[in-house]
Chains A and B, each alone.
Chain A
Amino acid sequence: MKQFMMIFIGEDYADLGLSPEEMQNRMGKWFAWSQKMDAAGIKHEGEALTSKIRRISGVERTAKDIASTELKEIVGGYYTVSAKDFDAVEEIAKDFPDYDLGSYVEIREVMVFDH
């Protein structure tokens, strides 16, 4: 078993103007998905990120605040799961609820270092 990270990328929820009803339905789907992973005993952790972005770059360490409205794609959160390989995670990621909002999942393997 290896560890993988599913990274969720898309437009910020707040900028989509979802109605309370839509949010609740979506939440129900997220809830079902995370329960499914828990039941399978493969989910480790996950976090959701707020929409404020501060980017620091260059040798001058220039800081710049970016509003989520300027970007169609921001990282909204992630889950780490145990799985055999990429194909297995792809199967898991099919339950990600926000494809219809144009969001997508990026699967990355967590690197294991030899000691």
Chain B
Amino acid sequence: METKLIDHLFRYHSGKMVSVLTRIFGLSNLEIIEDAVQDTFLKASISWRKEQPENPEAWLTKAAKNRVLDIFRKLKSEQKLIPEIKAGFDSIATEELFLDAEIEDAQLRMIFTACHPKLDAKDQIVFALKTIAGFSTKEIASALLTKEETIKKRLLRAKKTIKTTNLAFKIPQGKELPERIDSVLNVIYLIFNEGFHSNKKEILVQKELCGEAIRLCKMLLKNKHTQIPESYALFALMCFHSARLDAKINTENELLDLKNQDRNKWSFPMIQLGNMMMNKAVETSQFSRYHYEAAIVVEHIKAPNFEQTDWNKILNYYKCLHKLQPSTSYLLTMAVVCLQSENYVKANYYFEQINPDDLAQRSYLFYGA
């Protein structure tokens, strides 16, 4: 009787378990929680060798519940403070925290924790990948092209910051929320870009990152406080990009630029999903960078071939982006867009505004263009 294991079941479950247990025991006990979760998977992976449970997910959830008592005992024996639990440990209350809606709530809290402005930007991504996405330090190192030692240091630093600043494990409310969602979206997009723009040959790891970013964004869309137009726009943008993921690589595993991609390889279900999300995203008068970036990708997708791309529209969107957040790389891009439509006078106009030094390592692009 061959039953296929559910893809990524352990990884997805890891984020859920860590989040729920953190909600019960507080961020200060994160180490103990992570160990307990790791141990649960270890036991599962070994005991399932003999026989797989009928319902693997239910098995894992039950294991997580059992862990609550284990951790509780452990903390008691170490006489640690147990925050957020009143005297007389209430197992019924815990039971409720394992309902689907509550699990999602806990995960959202964890996302906001990971993307807290008090954490260093580099630590945010690493912490999110470890805690919410269940990546190992080795996997993160390989995905971000960084040494494993560096990743470990960043994780330690993030945990230290969380402890010293005594971060609350909650979804921000009121005025604080929009700003905080901004940084969450930013981290999600960074994770996605790490996957999408990687020049690595190991396409699988990179796809994992893109998938993870999309999954995190989906969590935002499920909660009424975080399902804002920007979230939809980012989701749409990632769908449009993902639709082209498989076409980026040729049979020799070489990266292809847009000009040479086989457009038949684009994933149309992904494009359709992106369109649906985009329709939700535009129900606002204020467009974000994600709106414009998604619109640009749509133009590329809409064009039957590279030559028929509507460069004018694309140029306009870049102008909007540049207005939102002036940057030299936008100027360079706009210049290149003008070159595509053979508008040399205008291209020059943008080139003249660029100081190659601002592009730092990318100045070769300037001279190349």
List residues of chain A with CB within 8 A of the CB of B82.
none
Q: Is A18 interfacial (CB 8 A cutoff)?
A: yes
Residues A27 and B39 in contact in the complex (CB < 8 Å), given A19-B138, A21-B10: no
Compute how far the CA of A24 lies from the CA of B136 in the bound complex, rounded to whole angstroms: 13
Residues A48 and B138 in contact in the complex (CB < 8 Å), given A24-B5, A24-B9: no
Q: Verify B134–A21 contact, CB threshold 8 A.
A: yes
Q: Is B360 interfacial (CB 8 A cutoff)?
A: no
Q: Is B48 interfacial (CB 8 A cutoff)?
A: yes
Q: Is B71 interfacial (CB 8 A cutoff)?
A: no
* Interface-facing stretch out of A30-38, A57-65, A85-93: A30-38
Q: Verify A20–B13 contact, CB threshold 8 A.
A: yes
Residues A24 and B49 in contact in the complex (CB < 8 Å), given A17-B137, A19-B136: no
List residues of chain A with CB within 8 A of the CB of B333.
none
Compute how far the CA of A19 lies from the CA of B139 in the bound complex, rounded to whole angstroms: 8
Compute how far the CA of A17 lies from the CA of B14 in the bound complex, rounded to whole angstroms: 14
Q: Is B86 interfacial (CB 8 A cutoff)?
A: no
Query: B10, B39, B44, B47: which has the most chain A beta carbons within 10 Å?
Result: B10
Q: Is B135 interfacial (CB 8 A cutoff)?
A: yes
Task: Return the chain B residue nearest A51 by Cβ.
Answer: B42
Compute how far the CA of A28 lies from the CA of B49 in the bound complex, rounded to whole angstroms: 8
Q: Verify A20–B41 contact, CB threshold 8 A.
A: yes
Q: How far is the CB of A28 from chain B (nearest CB, A)?
A: 5
Q: How far is the CB of B281 from chain A (nearest CB, A)?
A: 31
Q: Verify B5–A31 contact, CB threshold 8 A.
A: yes
Q: How many residues of B contact A (CB 8 A)?
A: 26
Residues A34 and B5 in contact in the complex (CB < 8 Å), given A19-B134, A20-B14, A23-B42: no
Q: How many residues of A contact B (CB 8 A)?
A: 20
Q: Verify A31–B136 contact, CB threshold 8 A.
A: no
Contacting residue for B11 out of A14, A19, A46, A77, CB 8 A: A19
Compute how far the CA of A31 lies from the CA of B4 in the bound complex, rounded to whole angstroms: 10
List residues of chain B with CB within 8 A of the CB of A17.
136-138
Residues A23 and B45 in contact in the complex (CB < 8 Å), given A31-B52, A34-B50, A46-B50: yes
Q: Is B224 interfacial (CB 8 A cutoff)?
A: no
Q: Verify B14–A14 contact, CB threshold 8 A.
A: no
Q: Is A70 interfacial (CB 8 A cutoff)?
A: no
Q: Verify B52–A13 contact, CB threshold 8 A.
A: no
Q: Verify B48–A31 contact, CB threshold 8 A.
A: yes
Q: Is B46 interfacial (CB 8 A cutoff)?
A: yes
Q: Verify B8–A13 contact, CB threshold 8 A.
A: no
Compute how far the CA of A13 lies from the CA of B41 in the bound complex, rounded to whole angstroms: 11
List residues of chain B with CB within 8 A of the CB of A13.
42, 45-46
Interface string of B1-25 (1 = CB under 8 A from A): 0100100111101100000000000
Q: Verify B44–A27 contact, CB threshold 8 A.
A: yes
Interface residues of A in 2-45 (CB under 8 A from B): 13-14, 17-24, 26-28, 30-31, 34-35
Q: Verify B45–A21 contact, CB threshold 8 A.
A: no
Compute how far the CA of A31 lies from the CA of B139 in the bound complex, rounded to whole angstroms: 23
Q: Verify B134–A20 contact, CB threshold 8 A.
A: yes
Q: Verify B52–A20 contact, CB threshold 8 A.
A: no
Interface string of A64-85 (1 = CB under 8 A from B): 0000000000000100000000
Q: What are 28 A-B interface contacts by the 8 Å CB criterion? A: A13-B42, A13-B45, A13-B46, A17-B137, A17-B138, A19-B11, A19-B134, A20-B11, A20-B13, A20-B134, A21-B10, A21-B11, A21-B134, A22-B136, A22-B139, A23-B42, A24-B5, A24-B9, A24-B10, A24-B11, A26-B45, A27-B45, A27-B49, A31-B48, A31-B49, A34-B49, A35-B2, A48-B47
Q: Residues of A at under 8 Å CB distance from B?
A: 13-14, 17-24, 26-28, 30-31, 34-35, 46, 48, 77
7 A-B pairs closest in CB distance: A19-B136, A20-B10, A24-B10, A27-B45, A20-B14, A23-B45, A30-B49
Q: Residues of B at under 8 Å CB distance from A?
A: 2, 5, 8-11, 13-14, 38-39, 41-42, 44-50, 52, 134-139
Q: A19-B134, A21-B11 are in contact. List 7 more A-B contacts (CB 8 A).
A: A18-B136, A19-B136, A20-B38, A21-B8, A23-B42, A24-B11, A24-B41
